[in-house]
Structure 1
Amino acid sequence: GADPLVRVDAVQRTAEVDGRALDLTYLEFELLAHLVRHPHRVHTRDQLVSTVWGYGHVGDGRTVDVHVARLRRKLGTQHRLAIQTVRRVGYKYTPPTGR
């Protein structure tokens, strides 16, 4: 259906994939929620650090890479590709199409 397979509830701070709850850290949740809120938009690592980590966090792109890698692992094989790497730019979230 048109229902996205990855669901994020910002109020209850829960995230699920195909009805399976994800056990996410605070930052993993924030990162996933931000990506899901802006589907198909490419975010640079710098944008993600300032938006998700915030408060002038001085992080490098590797911080983002590590969190994305963890998120993908938690999303599982079928959905890990929903978070796409855009070479030399950053990341974007592509909602799974109803197969």
Structure 2
Amino acid sequence: MTTALPSRTTPPAAPPAETRRLQLVGDAGLDGTTSPAAPRLVSYLVLVPEGTDLGDLFAKDGPRPEIRPVGAMAPAAAPRIGDGAVQVDPARRVAEVDGRQLDLTYLEFALLAHLVRHPHQVHTRERLVAAVWGYDHVGDGRTVDVHIARLRRKLGAAHRHTIVTVRRVGYKYVPDRQSPGAIPRHRP
């Protein structure tokens, strides 16, 4: 089945007022002519503050402000999240417990990072599926239960209690507030 779009019978509307001040810098020479033998140029959209003199910005031998593509900007260092015992470094995708690096799958890491990022907050199974697996994931809450069980096993006996089951609702992360070397409390 194909769908045809109606043809435009009215002329296009005038551009919005804020775009009328934009200038197009093309591949035309200084005299306004183009050369068919000239190499193809790559186009960039450069946003500059109003009042910037484009002649100074693109002067051949003059000093220029630094211009970088947005994708080339150095990302801000993401801080480590977590309490003293459980640490998650999202930038390096590393999780540690008491300084020991955990061997986590992609989804286990995402689940632990989500829980640690939101301590003491109760998350329903559906909310965890949406946040970690994505809205298009087809499955039930049992998937979350299995991953939580694996996470608890990998956290070890001393820290498995930090992921608390909220009966008939879901799970929450409760950071360890104990001093290092203290005997862990057992929670149901």
Q: TM-score, normalised by structure 1?
A: 0.95
Following superposition of structure 1 onto structure 2, how do residues 48-87 of structure 1 map, counting pairs within 5 Å?
48-87=128-167
Higher percent of residues as helix:
1
One-letter code aligned to 1:94: V
The answer to whether the aligner puts 1:90 opposite 2:158 as a matched pair is: no
Q: 1:11 corresponds to which residue?
A: 91
Higher percent of residues as strand:
1
Q: 1:37 corresponds to which residue?
A: 117
Which runs of 5 or more residues in structure 2 are unaligned?
1-82, 180-188
List, as ranges, runs of 4+ consecutive aligned residues in structure 1 with deviation greater than 3 Å.
none
The total of aligned residue pairs comes to 97
Tell me the distance in 2 between the aligned counterparts of 1:14 and 1:72: 16
Tell me the distance in 2 between the aligned counterparts of 1:59 and 1:42: 20
Q: TM-score, normalised by structure 2?
A: 0.51
Check conservation: 2:129, 2:135, Cα contact below 8 A.
no
Q: Could you tell me how far 1:98 is from its partner in structure 2?
A: 2.5
The answer to whether the aligner puts 1:28 opposite 2:103 as a matched pair is: no
